[in-house]
Structure 1
Amino acid sequence: MLDHVSITVADFARALPFYDAIMAALGVPCVRRGDTSVGYGIRNRPDDDGHSYLSVLASRGEVVADNRHWCFRAPDRAAVDAFHAAALAHGGRDDGPPGLRPAYHASYYAAFVRDPDGNRIEAVCHRTYPADPPGA
């Protein structure tokens, strides 16, 4: 299991509002903010050593986002919808609107966007809802 993930961006000032917005839409708080990095996650241990689940870092060189993909779990389908809307409102590009993706499984509800640097970012909810197809 992953301890943390870091995403590098070419223009930190441009990326910050995007990541603040999508993480807020998913209910993930900002836990660390600096001049060239920001961290998001949930700290619930008194002995936390300072790691966050996601770090967004200013790049020290060229950012090549080809084939990068990060997926964040959403608490419900409304959060997936909010994630997508927040991304588009803060410089992201649509890469797959919110909806069921039955090719993955019957209850796989996701949205895909590209951040300002072209990284592919996804939010997914795996919860089964009463309206889901049988066997979900």
Structure 2
Amino acid sequence: MDKETLPRWGWLLVGLFAMALVANTLNIAVLGPAGLPAEYQVITVITSMAPVLIYIGVWYDEDRQEYWDHSREHIAGDLVFVVVGAAVGSAMALVAIVGLGLPQILRDIAAMAAGFMLSWGLFWWRNPNLYRNEASR
């Protein structure tokens, strides 16, 4: 994939759209028929989108290219942390607010915020040197 083909926001848009399609297909074909309530199906969408949000930035930014020098095991471990963090964070937020009677859009936004924050936090915790230059500015 060539970084120059699209700007960063273009790669984010393509990646997020593709993962939304994958997650919703999983929801419709597998999780919905298995009994997952509709209000919790947003968790799969958030979980699939979190790696895109994190890894597009790491892939696109020139000053973060040293990340790809890590072993495959380290990168796979980071991906597991990102996915599990997004699932746990969004699920915890939904469980806490699903009975409050909030509109679905507000529940989804709260779940996205919690899922993405925990996901990125776990990624940062495993790779603090990756963002050290920004913290010192």
Does the alignment reach a TM-score above 0.5?
A: no
TM-score, normalised by the number of residues in structure 2:
0.26
Tell me which protein shows more strand as a share of its residues.
1
Tell me which protein shows more helix as a share of its residues.
2
Structure of larger gyration radius: 2
TM-score, normalised by the number of residues in structure 1:
0.26
